[in-house]
Amino acid sequence: MVDLSIRIGDVDLANPVMPASGAFSWEYADVIDLNRLGGLVAKTICKEPRNGNPTPRMAETEAGIIQSIGLPGKGVYYFLDHIVPEYKKFTPPFIASISAETADEFAEMCSILSVPQIDVLEVNISCPTRNATGGNFSLHEEHTAKVMRDIRAATDHPVWAKLSPNAGDIVSIAVAAEEAGADALVIANTFLSLKIRTDNFRPALGNKFGGLVSPALKPIVLRMVYQVAKEVTVPVIGIGGVTKAEDVVEYMLAGAHGVGIGYAGFRNPTALTAIIDDLEAWCDARGIERITDLIGAVRDDDMETDTLVAASAGI
């Protein structure tokens, strides 16, 4: 039987499958055994209570949904007192996801949340509906480096930096995050998107723009994971379009240590554990003894990796 366990920095996980932040809650325990997941990732929280974005907050597309929830919540101290104890009823590592308006606030939140009950701080420096100096720091190298340095100085906890697919050069952003102290990189947040209603000519979301989540995004995020994993030494976690065990395998072959599942779990909560079962069966059928053997094992040494050189070769 395959050994599905992985290690991301100093954190041991029973398998590489985790929920994505914002598409999960401890209440999933009513449907699946949460102790089977590799990690438990809470919805992103902010320091102060937030009402979230104006409604409508979700819109369907032909291949997924656009959402602009706006990070509603009751603040960091409510999170510590009421949410953390719910997650600590289960055994997988607990990952707290946080967002802030400024680098100083990020650092303050990391300091507040550096408690034994929390195993990892996922710093959501890439909320797609916030601008580059008000939450979406990962659009620019210098903003990424600044916020990550402040975060690193504020905590000894493992820090996973969640990056944006909307950045022009995600590889440079990833390198900046690693150099500033990130212990792992989460790639990626949602794609900034727009839907317009044809009945009244107005945007479908109350906040106009939202983040697209869709299985169709997997090839794009997979390419990002592949490129980033080639240039950094810290582990990478891939998020985008995972709906089956083979998607997990693809991400790991591209260089990921783990994956986050959002859309599939939102559509069907049992998908999370079903994918773990199928991943185990997939490996056993092929005689793979350790899941970690798949990390970066794509067979492409004989292929040109520079996209400009490859494109110039023609057909």
Rounded Cα–Cα distance for residues 125 and 102 (Å): 10
**Beta bridge partner(s), residue 25:** none
Rounded Cα–Cα distance for residues 268 and 183 (Å): 31
Rounded Cα–Cα distance for residues 146 and 171 (Å): 17
**Would you state the structure tokens that stand for residue 141, as one six-digit string?**
């190298």
Burial class (CB in 10 A: 0-12, 13-18, 19+), 42: buried
**Would you state the structure tokens that stand for residue 250, as one six-digit string?**
């693809």
SS3 label, residue 69: coil
Is the separation of the CB atoms in 186 and 165 below 8 Å?
no
3-state SS of the chain: helix, strand, coil percent to 5? 35, 20, 45
Rounded Cα–Cα distance for residues 264 and 2 (Å): 24
Is the separation of the CB atoms in 44 and 127 below 8 Å?
yes
Catalytic residue (one of 46, 110, 127, 283): 127
Residue 283 annotated in active site: no
Is the separation of the CB atoms in 161 and 153 below 8 Å?
no
In 3D, which of 249, 273, 282 has the Cα closest to residue 19?
273
- Integer Rg of the chain from CA: 19
Name the one residue in this structure whose structure tokens are 């003894």. 289
Kindly list the catalytic residues. 127
